Amino acid sequence: MADEKGKSVQTTGHAWDGDLQEFNNPLPRWWLWSFYGTVVFAIIYWLIYPAWPIADSYTKGFGTVSYQSGGKEVTRHWNTRAELLQDLQSGSETLKQQAYLQKVAAASYDDIANDPEMSAFTQSMAKVLFADNCAACHGIGGSPARIGQYPNLRDDAWLWGGDIAQIEQTIEQGRNGFMPAFGEVLGDAKIEQVASYVLGLSGHQVDAAKAEAGRAIFQGQEGGCFYCHTTSGKGLPSQGAANLTDAIWTVADVPGAATDADRLKAVEAVIREGIQRQMPGWKGRLSTTEIKLLTAYVHSLGS
Ligand code: HEC
Ligand code: HEC
């Protein structure tokens, strides 16, 4: 066999030990070109993408990825994180969503409410926004874990008013819920009287004589409660003063009290200590459209 091959294959002409010859078998063309091709490919790849480690860094490559960040277009050298960010912003679903957002931004609140598709979109977007920004205080879906610190947004009782415009202002500007502490001004006996009057306003069983004395404090200069809660006790949305006649409680834990005495204590505690609560404003932290989505959502929770 070697002989046969020896005839068909060229030798280099060298011979050792008399008959040991060196064949001349060049690499096939296709193989050689493929090999050169991979070399060229590797060099181009190194130039475009991050490739070689140097000290505590690496060659970053000339390739770039652009994406939006904080309203500005930023360009980074190619990396998977930047590519993901770009993908999230320009994927076909995202583009559809952005187009729809613009439609919602241009629509009136009435249009949104009357268009089933737009209102479904608004609800689903707002739910996510609410979970991210509001649920820490107001609870998932708008019901806080317990009465006292944060108002429930699911009932139809509003401190600051439940109109679209009022809710939008609440979310955009924030609110300060403030009621002075009456502990030192009134003293225990009068606080018990005025608390009895307050509980009576929402139909609870109370000591009639104490409630009557409480009425004078509530409606007179001594307590001055009517300035904020009005003479009817129905509250004043411009002050964020609670409606005391609706049996819906936002600070005083009346529903959590088991007995008449405990209910009285819960109301007394609020009057004695006063209230200081703050709803942060979201203008500048959320976009106008995001605030609009949340307004429509919160409005729908209450009604
Ligand atoms: C840091 C806690 C906190 C966060 C976060 C928060 N809120 Fe509030 N929010 C409050 C407090 C406290 C009040 C009650 C203010 C008061 O007592 O008058 C309030 C009140 C409100 C009211 C008025 C309720 C009424 O009865 O009039 C609305 C509406 C509201 N928040 C919506 C939102 C939305 C929407 C978000 C998310 C963008 C949000 N809140 C995030 C604490 C928070
Ligand atoms: C300066 C205005 C102001 C005055 C005066 C005032 N309140 Fe209030 N009161 C408020 C506000 C505002 C709230 C709701 C605060 C919040 O939810 O953050 C409130 C809440 C309450 C609550 C809690 C209601 C609930 O739903 O849990 C009670 C009870 C109450 N007031 C009783 C009184 C009584 C009694 C007096 C008089 C002794 C009085 N208030 C005087 C502003 C006032």
**Residue 86 near residue 65 (C-beta atoms within 8 A):** yes
Q: Is 191 touching ligand 2 by the criterion CB < 6 Å? A: no
Residue 3 vs residue 241, higher pLDDT: 241
**pTM for the predicted model, two decimal places:** 0.78
The radius of gyration of the chain from alpha carbons, rounded to an integer in Å, stands at: 38
Per-residue model confidence (pLDDT) at position 44: 95
Per-residue model confidence (pLDDT) at position 14: 83
Q: Please write the tens of the pLDDT for every residue from 151-180.
A: 999 998 999 999 999 999 999 999 999 999
The answer to whether residue 136 is domain-embedded is yes
Per-residue model confidence (pLDDT) at position 303: 63
* 292 and 251 fall within a common domain: no
Element (H, E) at 74: strand 72-77
Q: Tell the residue nearest (CA) to atom 16 of ligand 1.
A: 177
- For range 39-48, the mean pLDDT: 95
Tell me, what CATH number does 136's domain have?
1.10.760.10
Q: Tell the residue nearest (CA) to atom 18 of ligand 1.
A: 177
Distance 260 CA to ligand 2 centre (A): 20
* 163 and 114 fall within a common domain: yes
Q: What is the mean pLDDT of the chain?
A: 92
Ligand 1: which of 167, 279, 287, 292 to mutate, most ligand atoms within 8 Å of CB? 279
The answer to whether residue 202 is domain-embedded is yes
Per-residue model confidence (pLDDT) at position 1: 39
Those residues whose C-beta lies under 8 Å from the C-beta of residue 270, and which sit 6 or more positions away, are 179, 251, 252
Per-residue model confidence (pLDDT) at position 7: 57
* 159 and 286 fall within a common domain: yes
Q: Please write the tens of the pLDDT for every residue from 188-223.
A: 999 999 999 999 999 999 999 999 999 999 999 999
For residue 36, what are the domain limits?
A: 2-48
Those residues whose C-beta lies under 8 Å from the C-beta of residue 34, and which sit 6 or more positions away, are none
Would you place residue 96 in the very low, low, confident or very high pLDDT band (cuts 50, 70, 90)?
Answer: confident
Per-residue model confidence (pLDDT) at position 145: 82
Q: Please write the tens of the pLDDT for every residue from 236-276.
A: 999 999 999 999 999 999 999 999 999 999 999 999 999 99
Per-residue model confidence (pLDDT) at position 2: 47
* 182 and 169 fall within a common domain: no
List C-alpha distances in Å: 298 to 126, 135, 142, 168: 9, 12, 8, 9
Q: Please write the tens of the pLDDT for every residue from 101-125.
A: 999 999 999 999 999 999 999 999 9
**Residue 246 near residue 157 (C-beta atoms within 8 A):** yes
Q: Where are the beta strands (DSSP E) in 140-285?
A: 175-179, 275-279
* 150 and 285 fall within a common domain: yes
Q: How many domains does the chain have?
A: 3
Q: What ligand has the least distance to the C-alpha of 192?
A: 2
* 202 and 274 fall within a common domain: yes
Query: Which residue reads 């009425």 in tokens?
Result: 215
* 234 and 269 fall within a common domain: yes
* 269 and 287 fall within a common domain: no
Per-residue model confidence (pLDDT) at position 144: 87
Calpha distance 244→190 (Å, rounded): 18
**What share of the chain has pLDDT > 90, as a percent?**
73
**Residue 151 near residue 162 (C-beta atoms within 8 A):** no
The answer to whether residue 77 is domain-embedded is no
The SS3 assignment for 238 reads: coil
* 146 and 232 fall within a common domain: no
The answer to whether residue 92 is domain-embedded is no
Final residue of a structural domain among 33, 48, 63: 48
**Residue 197 near residue 211 (C-beta atoms within 8 A):** yes
Which atom of ligand 1 is least distant from the CA of 176? 18
* 190 and 271 fall within a common domain: yes
Q: Is 219 touching ligand 2 by the criterion CB < 6 Å? A: no
Q: Which two tokens stand for residue 175?
A: 């609110």
The answer to whether residue 261 is domain-embedded is yes
The answer to whether residue 72 is domain-embedded is no
* 143 and 273 fall within a common domain: no
Would you place residue 86 in the very low, low, confident or very high pLDDT band (cuts 50, 70, 90)?
Answer: confident
* 128 and 261 fall within a common domain: no
The answer to whether residue 63 is domain-embedded is no
The answer to whether residue 132 is domain-embedded is yes
